Amino acid sequence: MIGDILAELRKDNNLTQQAVAKMLNTSVATISHYETEKNYPDIHSLIKLADFFGVSTDYLLGRTRIYMDFNMFSRKIKLIDGTVISAEQVITRFLRLSDKSQADVVNLIALFRLRDSLKHEDVVRPIDEFSFDIGTEV
């Protein structure tokens, strides 16, 4: 599985085995053997490959098919109080929440995405215009 994933990443990035070998300071034969699974990368090479392609080692090992750019985790978010937090910190805090709270956060994100898609951020209705009684339509 790792061989297919490496070959796919290499091809998706329009790289030759020679270019990857140069990055790892190894031979083309070694990269070829990784891709054909005659040999497997050691832990240091695995980490270098993951960093080079911008994926997790779990992705390389076939433990997840979630392909993500890890640079996005270092993105900074300025909070309303002026403090700054990284996306990684937000995710860490989210994962520490209870299942119910996580579901609530996901629902809030959906609500904010809807608001942003409607492009009515400047329209704000006072809270007293809404009825939250059960059975009452809003």
Lowest mean pLDDT across 45-54, 72-81, 127-136: 127-136
Share of residues in the chain with pLDDT > 70 (%): 82
**Shared domain check, 83 and 52:** no
**What are phi and psi for residue 24, nearest 5 degrees?**
-85, -5
Residue 129 lies in a domain: no
Residue 82 lies in a domain: yes
- Structural domains of the chain, count: 2
Q: Which residue has the tokens 């076939």?
A: 62
pLDDT at position 135 over 60? no
Residue 131 lies in a domain: no
Residue 101 lies in a domain: yes
- Give pTM, 2 decimals: 0.56
Q: Please, which residues have CB within 8 angstroms of residue 31's CB and are 6 or more apart in sequence? A: 6, 10, 17, 20, 21, 24
Residue 42 belongs to domain spanning: 2-60
Residue 69 lies in a domain: no
Burial of residue 130 (CB within 10 Å: 0-12, 13-18, 19+) is exposed
pLDDT at position 134 over 50? no
**Tens digits of residue pLDDT in 38-55:** 999 999 999 999 988 988
Residue 89 lies in a domain: yes
71: which 2 tokens?
A: 């640079």
**Shared domain check, 79 and 56:** no
Instruction: Report whether 85 contacts 76 (CB < 8 A).
Output: yes
